[in-house]
Structure 1
Amino acid sequence: MSNQTVTRIEGNEFILERIFDAPRGLVFKAFTEAEHLKHWWGPRGWTLSVCNVDLREGGAWHYCMKCIDENITDFYGMESWGKAVYKEIAAGEKIVYMDYFSDEEGRESDEMPATEVTLIFEDHDGKTKVTSRGKYDSEEGLQTVLNMGMEQGILETWDRLAEHLQSVQ
């Protein structure tokens, strides 16, 4: 595995794997601290205009991605709200959360599929391997977000994470 994100689909699960050239503790912080998330979460041309993290089991991360790139004409100025509700946290090793589309008040969308995400952080020859397993209620739910361009968006997002990690070491 290289420093590129590998993706695959297994039934109703979307799986990503990547090795980041950074220590596990820093990579974990990048996924869990607003100061880091603000620098990399979202595809290119998007920024986090809101990022509130309550990192505890039962806590939530509520955020808003906003398209700020005028060249992305179909989405320029658009806001996309999301909410993650943490189910399990093992510091430096694992995070399990429910990922929802939401509104600015944090109300979860009934129209869009929710995802149970399991993130695993492993030491890998001085670097960190991250595995993300996003489980949907159905293959149709997964297909809905794939049709929206989610795969390209997450690939760009993880590229931005790799760049951010290099900038803070």
Structure 2
Amino acid sequence: MEWTCEAPRDNVFAAFTEKEQLEAWWGPEGWETMIKTFEFQPGGVWHYCMRCVDPAQGDFYGMESWGKAIFRHIDSPNTYSHADYFSDASGAISEHLPGSENVTTFLDLGETTLIVFESTYETEAAVQEVLGMGMKEGFTSQLYRLDRLLTKR
């Protein structure tokens, strides 16, 4: 997936790699994110909870979704990679939901930044499972939230 932000690369990279900024936009519309652990370094852990706070989202209202990432490689402000998993509140990785390996690249286009997201799953069935859970729509929604955050800055 690719996304263009109307902001310089350093600002966009910071929005992905600074805890306070990440909490302000990560998660789909109507959800809030609380980061329990954020260690932006190779081998570091990012453990977070997204919680639906929008009553208009029906059965999703009040739902929590925990995630855990482990950073693999960092080349600031160009790229970073991480493993991404569903987890529980204690940080235990789900054995029932698929994980992925991800590379996020930030291309400097002057006053704009092209972000390239690459995710690899073990099987096509795993890809279909996360797509069926609304991952594409949720991720797109949060990128619009990122755009609004960057516009404010």
- TM-score w.r.t. the length of structure 2 is 0.97
Query: Contact 1:100–1:109 (CA<8 Å) still a contact in 2?
Result: yes
Count of matched residue positions in the alignment of Structure 1 and Structure 2: 153
Task: Indicate the percent of aligned positions where both proteins have the same amino acid.
Answer: 41
* Residue 100 (str. 1) matches residue 100 (str. 2): no
* Residue 76 (str. 1) matches residue 61 (str. 2): yes
* Residue 150 (str. 1) matches residue 135 (str. 2): yes
In 2, Cα distance between equivalents of 1:49 and 1:18? 24
Shift of 1:49: 2.8
Query: Contact 1:34–1:51 (CA<8 Å) still a contact in 2?
Result: no
**Are residues 73 and 51 of structure 1, via their aligned partners in 2, closer, same or farther at CA, if it must alter by over 3 Å?**
same
Amino acid at match of 1:35: E
Which structure 2 segments of 5+ residues have no match?
none
Give the aligned partner of residue 30 of structure 1: 15
Shift of 1:65: 0.2
- TM-score w.r.t. the length of structure 1 is 0.88
Give the aligned partner of residue 122 of structure 2: 137
Query: Contact 1:19–1:124 (CA<8 Å) still a contact in 2?
Result: no
User: Residue 84 of structure 2: SS of its match in structure 1?
Assistant: strand
Q: Give the alignment's Cα RMSD to 1 decimal.
A: 0.9
Shift of 1:152: 0.5
Cα deviation, 1:11-30, whole Å, max 9, x if unaligned, reads xxxxx101101111111111
Query: Contact 1:84–1:98 (CA<8 Å) still a contact in 2?
Result: yes
Give the aligned partner of residue 116 of structure 1: 101
User: Residue 126 of structure 2: SS of its match in structure 1?
Assistant: helix
Shift of 1:134: 0.8
* Residue 56 (str. 1) matches residue 3 (str. 2): no
Which structure 1 segments of 5+ residues have no match?
1-15
Give the aligned partner of residue 46 of structure 1: 31
User: Residue 71 of structure 1: SS of its match in structure 2?
Assistant: helix
Amino acid at match of 1:71: A
Shift of 1:66: 0.2
Shift of 1:125: 3.8
- Which runs of at least 4 in structure 1 moved beyond 3 Å after TM superposition? none
Comparing 50-59 and 98-107, the one that deviates more: 50-59
